Amino acid sequence: MLQICHVTKEFDNILALDDVSLEIKQGTIFGLLGPNGAGKTSLIRILTGILLPDKGSCQITNAEKVNFNTLSRMIGYLPEERGLYKKMKIIDQLEFFGRIKGLAKKDVFEKIYYYSEKMGIQDWLPKKAAELSKGMQQLVQFTATVFYEPSLIILDEPFTGLDPINSLKIQKEIMELQKHGKTIIFSTHRMEQVEEFCENIALINKGKIILHGNIAQIKNRFKKHLYQVQYNGESRLESNDDLEILKKEKDYMIIKDCSASQSANYLLKIIMSKLEIISFVEILPTLNEIFIDHVNGRNNE
């Protein structure tokens, strides 16, 4: 769907983006991660045509000749800094956003009423944005981002200010958009949401891509060979050259595999000879742990 090739952007002799290349497949939810000031916003603004790169290019597949207007209609962007007009009625704002995206007047109102009912904001259409809470405004702006049905949707912190009920509405809509073949770039600091929605990610820091790929493969690559063991009765297991008991309670323990083979089956065989096992589960690192280690320069590569 999207190819980002060797993109570089500099501001006042500071490299915001340093030779960034990525490929995002159609119909996927892709996590764009990074600490504050890493370069995420600069990359998003280049993707949306707000900024031009100093070097490199961004290309949407099957759209070789894309001008700004065409690109604008293909992309829906929910920025972290919200942008509703406070004194304007919601229905007028949605009509305005739809018309500048190229929808005919008849189509605009059909889509407004369809998505307003779907997102539960139909009663807010006659109200001005200033009359709504921040959470309600967030739901309206999400609707404004997707109701004209763009091919590529960029969501920057989409759940900010939402209560659990409205968060669930957006979660369901994101999954439905993906089922209909939409490509979604999801940028957030909440790693548990990334693990829930995304299959692939890129971690950017100081303008460079420092980690990217499939989440499951990344977690497996940086595992620390830790296992949680639940057991019955007494344990005769002790730390030795093959394993280290890091934590031990009445009915469970956490073990590190120290054996040269690093084989779970080998470790399990040793444990089974010393205690009665109820469960044996590998502990993989969370995406949050991997994120912190890489941003701080602590990783296994």
Average pLDDT over residues 3-30: 92
Would 297 be classed as within a structural domain? no
User: Residue 188 above 70 pLDDT?
Assistant: yes
**56 and 116 co-located in one domain:** yes
Q: Are residues 135 and 266 in the same domain?
A: no
289 part of a folded domain: no
Q: Quick check: 145 and 77 in contact, CB under 8 A? A: yes
What pLDDT does 162 receive?
A: 87
User: What pLDDT shows up at residue 72?
Assistant: 67
pLDDT at 67 over 60: no
* Encoded tokens for 38: 């890493």
pLDDT above 70 as % of the chain = 94
| Amino acid 295: pLDDT | 84
pTM confidence score = 0.84
Q: Are residues 59 and 207 in the same domain?
A: yes
Establish how many alpha carbons lie within 13 A of residue 160's alpha carbon, considering only the half-sphere containing its beta carbon: 15
Alpha-carbon gap, residue 31 to 197, rounded angstroms: 8
How confident is the model at residue 36, as a pLDDT?
85
Looking at every residue in the chain, the average pLDDT score rounds to 88
For residue 95, being part of any structural domain is answered with: yes
Looking only at the bridges linking them, the beta strands covering 252-257 and 243-248 are antiparallel
Question: With 70 as the cut, is the pLDDT of residue 301 above it?
Answer: no
Assess if residue 294 is contained within a domain.
no
Residues 201 and 78 in one domain: yes
Please give the residue range of the domain that contains residue 262: 224-283
Statement to judge: residues 29 and 122 lie in one domain? yes
* Per-residue pLDDT at 64 exceeds 80: no
User: Residue 167 maps to which CATH number?
Assistant: 3.40.50.300
Q: Tell me how crowded residue 236 is: count the other CB atoms within 10 A of its CB.
A: 8
Residue corresponding to tokens 């999801």? 186
Indicate the pLDDT class of residue 106, thresholds 50, 70 and 90: confident
**Where in the chain does DSSP place strands (E)?**
2-11, 14-24, 29-33, 55-60, 75-78, 152-156, 183-187, 200-205, 208-214, 226-232, 243-248, 252-257, 276-283
Residues near 201 by Cβ (< 8 Å), separated by ≥ 6?
A: 30, 31, 32, 33, 194, 211, 212, 213, 215, 218, 287
241 lies in the same domain as 128: no
Number of domains in the chain: 2
Nearest to 72 by CA among 102, 96, 42, 44: 102
Looking at the structure, tell me whether residues 197 and 99 fall in a common domain.
yes
* Per-residue pLDDT reduced to its tens digit, 136-148: 999 999 999 999 9
Looking at the fold, whether 186 and 259 belong to one and the same domain comes out as no
Q: Is residue 190 pLDDT above 90, yes or no?
A: no
Burial environment of residue 154 by CB neighbours within 10 A (0 to 12, 13 to 18, 19 or more)? buried
Give me the pLDDT at residue 300, please.
Answer: 53
- What integer pLDDT is reported at residue 50 of this predicted model? 86
Closest CA to 24 of 53, 47, 55: 47
Residues 259 and 129 in one domain: no
